[in-house]
Amino acid sequence: MNTSETQTPAIIIILGATGDLAAKKIFPSLWHLFKHDRLPPHFSVISVARRDLSVDEFRAIVKDAVLNHGGISDESSFEAFLARFEYHTALFEDADAFQSLALRITETERSWGICGNKLFYLAVPPSAYEEIFKNLAGARLNEPCGGESGWSRVLIEKPFGSDEKSAQKLQELLLAYFKEDQIYRIDHYLFKEIVQGIEHFRFSNNLFESTWDNTTIERIDIRLLEEIGIEDRGAFYDSVGTLRDVGQSHLLAMLAAITMDPQSRTVESIRESRADILGHIRPWSEEMIHANTFRAQHEGYQSIAGVTLNSKTETYFALKTELTHQRWRGVPITLEAGKSVGGARKEIVLTLKHPRVCLLCEAGAHGANTITFRLEPNDEILIHFWTKKPGFERELEERTFSFFLYEKETKMQYVEEYAKVLNAAFIGNQAQFVSNAEIDAMWRFVDPILDAWRRNSVPLASYPKGSKPEPIFLISAPDTDEKRRGSLGIIGLGKMGGSLARRLMEVGWHVVGFNAHREITDALVAEGLDGAFSIPELISKLPAPRLVWLMVPYAAVDDVLNELTPHLNPGDIIVDGGNSPYRESIRRKKELEGRGIEFLDIGVSGGPGGARTGACMMVGGQKEAYERLEDTGFFKDTCVSNGWAYLGESGSGHYAKMVHNGIEYGMMQSIAEGFDLLKHSKEFTFDLAQVADVYAHGSVIVSRLVSWLRDSYQSFGVDLTKISGRAASSGEGKWTIETGNRDGIKLPAIQAALDVRTASAENPSYQGRIISALRGAFGQHPVSRSGDEPKIL
């Protein structure tokens, strides 16, 4: 707290001051702040409750609370602290009691000789809010008394509604009496040291943040498992359940902390970033809820006082989801929480992807690296990694970096985080308080689950008290190399199809392949392909529903479909992964849907190298078919990070790839012209490989194309004498021009690039050599020189 904040008089008014929340959290936390000189010299606590108590009786309650939750280390200092407490008896529906409360506040301010800021802490059930807000406003206590320099703020605890509709009503109620900057919504998990430590672990270091995304992280598991049970809260818990109690709030707050984008560290940007990432949680479908959510109730729960007979309230839940955000797409996320499940385990675990090249992995057992942010049983950050055992042998052992935030015996539950809650409210820092946008996103995620559970779409399981259920979707494979994916048939095993098959086999897919030339199929069989030597045989080896990928020249697609489709059934999916005219894809989709066969047109960029190591895919077709394919992990397994997208109805994938290739024509032509000019400069002699290398590092025109040209210069020399000056064209540039002409869009750069390629057939050139070299680099197209001589264009 800065000097002005520590000196500004403040009054905290605790409404519901005789309840458990005040005793367990608020009073001990205020004492913690007082001991650490975090309260202003002029500071008062006015405690409001229904009970008729004298101030001495109430101060005795405060003292007992502090003794039970933190202790008193300095008796004289505590007496000075206790003297700050006053007690005011009031019924929350009694408007006159709030008028008299305003008079008590005014009397306190007069004794100081200055207006005091006011913080209203509602330690009451949400059902009491409306009367309290109305009566605070009636006494004008919701207005600051110090003009622009003063403030009046309200602190409220979760739950923030019981669903999205009720949460919106609560927001309307709040805004009827307070401005948004007066409202402080508490989720105390955002104030826990470990959760706040995530922010600094990520954003204050460059150790991991540059790869804190789906390129490196395999999965995220967040769990809040408790040994304790419902205890004496049966009636409350039975009306809420575990998903509402901690799933809608704490678990999602932790998910936001671990996945939110780095932003400028303003209050607004932090809250907006949390809300944004929560808004990217994948929407539920009924099928997803059935497959990826689980709920259970521990045995004996219904005998707890306050629990209704035949209660269907869950005491444990688990679910699996993912984010649609480009940084996290494809990363499975599990959320899990429960009561009476054995030992306490509260943590976030990030499992990192297994390295593609793993030195010494063959030397013994080896698992994925993990980073764990643990709240219980200890506050610590753990990084698990592998290293060589000391000694002569080439053996691995698992080691752990561990950073403890607390010695276990020195930490008092709730006190530290609630002290930070109060401190942040006093100084006006809303960064770790939940925004209304975050609450809306949380309920949008949870409401469909609750609705499905009410309809018993996911039956309520049971588990012995003291044990933990194990939903099947929480059980991860012990080795990321385990065969874990689906089956795919590939027709066309040339450069692209063969590379795609190798990629999929490498990560655990069952790939059945057919090629018109048997020797190509035989070669891949030696690498693990399930070879087929006819289309009927390929279909017979695929489980239903079948997924068949075509990687054949566009002129052959209809012939393949005519032979293939009689062997398919409704629900099977065909993918055309070649470069077909997009209008043909629209036609094929219409023809196939009459048979109940789903069709996707996917433009694939990256060439054979991309198909082997990670491609870019543009998807068109039925969205349901795309989602089915995405659910298998296909795109995650075949594409670079964020290298795929669903673009729309049938034809859109191939349309986008056509435009991509047209742009590629123009880019390659510009590069060729620029380097032609450099090579034939009348004033300077350039090392073209050096120029290409510097362009490839941080320049505005940095690109894979420039890097490939540099590599070509290094391999063939700057004259490129072994490369043909006849730049070939494979059709997509022409289709792009035709589409532009039809739609009235002028494409002069792409047209000129196409014209140069056409002219190079009769007049090979140095520019043609550059284009041929680039085509050879990314597409493995033939580029050898055939006796042509370069001419300067």
Residue-wise pLDDT for 705-764, tens only, equals 999 999 999 999 999 999 999 998 878 899 999 999 999 999 999 999 999 999 999 999
pLDDT for res 8: 79
CA-CA distance, 601 to 134, in Å (whole number)?
Answer: 60
Domain encompassing residue 290: 191-407+414-474
Residue 293: pLDDT over 80: yes
Which CATH number characterizes residue 670's domain? 1.10.1040.10
Q: CB-based contacts of 421: which residues, under 8 Å, 6+ apart?
A: 29, 155, 186, 188, 191
Residue 322: pLDDT over 50: yes
Same domain as 606, residue 587 = yes
Measured between alpha carbons, how far is residue 286 from residues 282, 390, 451, 458 in Å?
A: 13, 53, 10, 10
Same domain as 453, residue 325 = yes
User: Would you state the structure tokens that stand for residue 274, as one six-digit string?
Assistant: 């949390």
CA-CA distance, 32 to 65, in Å (whole number)?
Answer: 13
551-560: average pLDDT: 95
Same domain as 751, residue 705 = yes
Residue pair 488/512 in contact (Cβ under 8 Å)? The answer is yes
- Looking at the domain assignment, is residue 482 inside a domain? no
% pLDDT > 70, the chain: 92
- Looking at the domain assignment, is residue 613 inside a domain? yes
Residue 40: pLDDT over 90: no
Same domain as 611, residue 705 = no
Residue pair 621/589 in contact (Cβ under 8 Å)? The answer is yes
pLDDT for res 641: 78
Which CATH number characterizes residue 464's domain? 3.30.360.10
Q: In what order do the strands lie in the sheet with 10-15?
A: 85-89, 43-49, 10-15, 117-122, 152-157, 183-186
- Looking at the domain assignment, is residue 162 inside a domain? no
CA-CA distance, 25 to 14, in Å (whole number)?
Answer: 12
**DSSP code, position 472:** G
- Looking at the domain assignment, is residue 137 inside a domain? yes
How far the first Cα of the chain sits from its last, in Å, is 70
Kindly report, residue by residue over 75-102, the tens digit of the pLDDT: 999 999 999 999 999 999 999 999 999 9
Residue 457: pLDDT over 70: yes
User: What are the backbone dihedrals phi and psi of residue 761, each rounded to the nearest 5 degrees, phi first?
Assistant: -65, -35
- Looking at the domain assignment, is residue 9 inside a domain? yes
Residue pair 539/566 in contact (Cβ under 8 Å)? The answer is no
- Looking at the domain assignment, is residue 457 inside a domain? yes
Residue 447: pLDDT over 50: yes
Residue pair 474/335 in contact (Cβ under 8 Å)? The answer is no
Same domain as 775, residue 675 = yes
Same domain as 218, residue 349 = yes
Which CATH number characterizes residue 26's domain? 3.40.50.720
Question: Alpha-carbon dihedral of residues 495, 496, 502, 504, nearest 10 degrees?
Answer: -170
Q: Which of 261, 280, 323 is nearest to 437 (CA)?
A: 280
CA-CA distance, 213 to 277, in Å (whole number)?
Answer: 13
Final residue before a domain boundary, out of 627, 650, 673:
650
CA-CA distance, 210 to 193, in Å (whole number)?
Answer: 23
- Looking at the domain assignment, is residue 518 inside a domain? yes
Same domain as 677, residue 606 = no
pLDDT for res 773: 93
213-231: average pLDDT: 92
Final residue before a domain boundary, out of 432, 450, 474:
474
Band (pLDDT 50/70/90 cuts) for residue 480 is very low
Question: Does residue 250 have an active-site annotation?
Answer: yes
Residue 449: pLDDT over 80: yes
Same domain as 396, residue 467 = yes
Same domain as 200, residue 327 = yes
Same domain as 645, residue 677 = no
Same domain as 515, residue 395 = no
pLDDT for res 790: 41
Residue 366 vs residue 388, higher pLDDT: 388
Residue 405: pLDDT over 80: no
Same domain as 496, residue 461 = no
Pairing of strands 487-491, 547-550: parallel
Q: Using omega within 30 degrees of 0 as the cis cutoff, is the peptide bond preceding 545 cis?
A: yes
Kindly report, residue by residue over 43-87, the tens digit of the pLDDT: 999 999 999 999 999 999 999 999 988 788 889 999 999 999 999
Q: How many domains does the chain have?
A: 4
The answer to which of 14-23, 320-329, 363-372 has the lowest mean pLDDT is: 363-372
- Looking at the domain assignment, is residue 791 inside a domain? no
333-337: average pLDDT: 97
Residue pair 507/564 in contact (Cβ under 8 Å)? The answer is no
Helix (H) or strand (E) segment spanning residue 630: helix 623-631
Q: What is the CA radius of gyration of the chain?
A: 33
**DSSP code, position 378:** S
pLDDT for res 58: 97
Residue 443: pLDDT over 60: yes
Residue 230: pLDDT over 50: yes
Which residue is catalytic, options 250, 298, 325, 384? 250
Band (pLDDT 50/70/90 cuts) for residue 508 is confident
Q: Around 235, how many Cα atoms within 13 Å sit in the side-chain half-sphere?
A: 1
The amino acid occupying position 714 is Q
Q: Please tell me the pTM assigned to this model.
A: 0.74
Q: CB-based contacts of 628: which residues, under 8 Å, 6+ apart?
A: 573, 598
Final residue before a domain boundary, out of 110, 133, 157:
157
Burial class (CB in 10 A: 0-12, 13-18, 19+), 214: buried
